[in-house]
Amino acid sequence: MLGRRGKLREVNQVPPGLSVEHLVFGYGRRQVLDDVSFSVGNGRFCALLGPNGAGKTTLFSLLTGLIRTRVGQIEVCGVDMTRSPRDALAHMGIVFQQTTLDLDLSVRRNLSYYAALRGLHGRDANRRIDVALERMGLADRAKDRARDLNGGHRRRTEIARALMHQPDILLLDEPTVGLDPQSRAGITDYVHDLCSDEGLTVLWATHLVDEVRPDDDLVVLHHGRVLANGTAADVMQGQPLNEVFLTMTGQPA
Ligand SMILES: Nc1ncnc2c1ncn2[C@@H]1O[C@H](COP(=O)(O)OP(=O)(O)OP(=O)(O)O)[C@@H](O)[C@H]1O
């Protein structure tokens, strides 16, 4: 009994992949995030859904330490982002909205430079690159220049790169922007599979409701405020998500 209780306590104490509490941020006097709070449980896919200008990218910039605020708290796997940004970032893989590949380098070279930045070298780095490329179905494109890949494959390369240091949580800021429907569906499916099959925690920013599944967690952000937070099914209450979103925000998705 004792052991059992001890184990239960231990399980309950595991911090969530991401916890955001009472975050406030403005550019000058213009407030862009207003008391934003939510958390993403370990191994969960959380969609951060908001129309243009909702504050998604600003929130990502705070989560990834590109900008700071004095109001509110961010914890990544229990590590405080303000006090220990390096440790917090070590838990994170990040795919930014704008592509950050060097288009003149090969796919493999893009990954190996990133590996070096993460302190990975030699055989270990090569093994991780092979695994990451295989996982993303890019093994046969390793020698191609990033410039010669289509948009979907460039995104796959960025996701492969973001996963190389085996993060606990993957953050993606509108990763399907500019992709055709097939590539969009492929990447959305793939990242959902990473959650269900490998227990990765995901925060996926989007303004497209068809990327959200009923079992996902959902945070609806509008004008910097959280309008809804729960499983997508709970938020939808049996209605189509595009109608719910339109009612909440006054904007089609
Ligand atoms: N550097 C900046 N200086 C001033 N205002 C900014 C800056 N960056 C963003 N904003 C404003 O902050 C608000 C939120 O922008 P943000 O880019 O975070 O939203 P978003 O949800 O990511 O939008 P999108 O889907 O269009 O990328 C917008 O009104 C935007 O104009």
DSSP E strands in the chain: the ranges are: 18-27, 30-40, 45-49, 71-76, 79-80, 92-95, 169-173, 201-206, 217-222, 225-231
ipTM score assigned to the predicted complex: 0.96
Question: 152, 99 in Cβ contact below 8 A?
Answer: no
Q: Kindly report the protein residue whose alpha carbon is nearest to atom 12 of ligand 1.
A: 32
Give φ, ψ of 27 to 5 degrees: -95, 110
Spatial CA neighbour of 36 closest among 17, 53, 61, 19? 19
Q: Give mean pLDDT, residues 171-182.
A: 92
Spatial CA neighbour of 11 closest among 46, 44, 42? 42
- Residue 118: per-residue pLDDT: 85
- Residue 13: per-residue pLDDT: 77
pTM score: 0.90
Is residue 50 in contact with ligand 1, taking CB distance under 6 Å? Answer: yes
Reduce the DSSP state of residue 145 to 3 states and report it: strand
Reply yes or no on whether the pLDDT at 7 is more than 70: no
135 or 81: which leads in pLDDT: 81
- Residue 1: per-residue pLDDT: 37
Task: Give the distance from CA 80 to its chain's centroid.
Answer: 18
Q: Kindly report the protein residue whose alpha carbon is nearest to atom 5 of ligand 1.
A: 27
pLDDT in tens, 195-253: 999 899 999 999 999 999 999 999 999 999 999 999 999 999 999 999 999 899 887 66
- Cα gap 59→69, rounded to integer Å: 11
Given pLDDT bands bounded at 50, 70 and 90, which one contains residue 47?
A: very high
- Residue 120: per-residue pLDDT: 87
- Residue 230: per-residue pLDDT: 95
Task: Give the distance from CA 155 to its chain's centroid.
Answer: 13
Q: Which helix (H) or strand (E) holds 153?
A: helix 151-163
Q: Which ligand 1 atom minimizes the distance to the CA of 54?
A: 21
Work out the burial of residue 13: count CB atoms within 10 Å of its CB; fewer than 13 is exposed, 13-18 middle, 19 or more buried: exposed
Is residue 141 in contact with ligand 1, taking CB distance under 6 Å? Answer: no
